[in-house]
Amino acid sequence: MNVKPVSACIHHYGWVKPPGAMQLKQESFHKLWHDDEWIKKNIVISDEFDYSKIDSLSLFKGVHPAVIQEKIARQNWKFSFDPTKKNMPLTSKLLHGFEDFTGWRFGEWKNYKVV
């Protein structure tokens, strides 16, 4: 597949859900890959998702697109997160830093060619 880079801003809101919905999303996702025994050992089943386990997140300081602003205004849950406390192993930190510095992700497979 041939692709051409474009100057576009992509906003990904896949993790922007109320804590209960986010917990259900996580449980459903892991059930695709693991059996019930693995789920019992590795996933905390609760009514709310623990956002402190997210390994890399930064605060959004821009303006949200108009299409999502109404949904954000209706938000009835509080989200607080300290982005300085990233919860990731040293190897992940090093690889993440390398990617940020070079723009290249080690070991990433790409099914396209930039033209």
pLDDT tens readout for residues 10-30: 888 887 888 888 888 888 889
- Report which of residues 60 and 5 the model is more confident about: 5
Q: How far apart are CA 107 and CA 88, in angstroms?
A: 18
pTM: 0.62
Name the band, by pLDDT with cuts 50, 70 and 90, for residue 6. Answer: very high
Tokens describing residue 20: 């209960």
Residue 49, exposed/middle/buried by CB under 10 A (0-12, 13-18, 19+)?
buried
pLDDT over threshold 90, residue 115? yes
Residue 11's nearest CA partner among 62, 49, 77, 54 is: 62
- Please name the residue ranges forming H helices in the chain: 19-33, 36-42, 66-73, 90-102
CB contact at 8 A, 5 and 115: no
Per-domain boundaries in the chain: 13-51+61-106
Residue 91's nearest CA partner among 77, 111, 106 is: 106
pLDDT tens readout for residues 58-110: 778 888 889 888 888 888 888 777 777 777 788 888 998 899 899 888 888 88
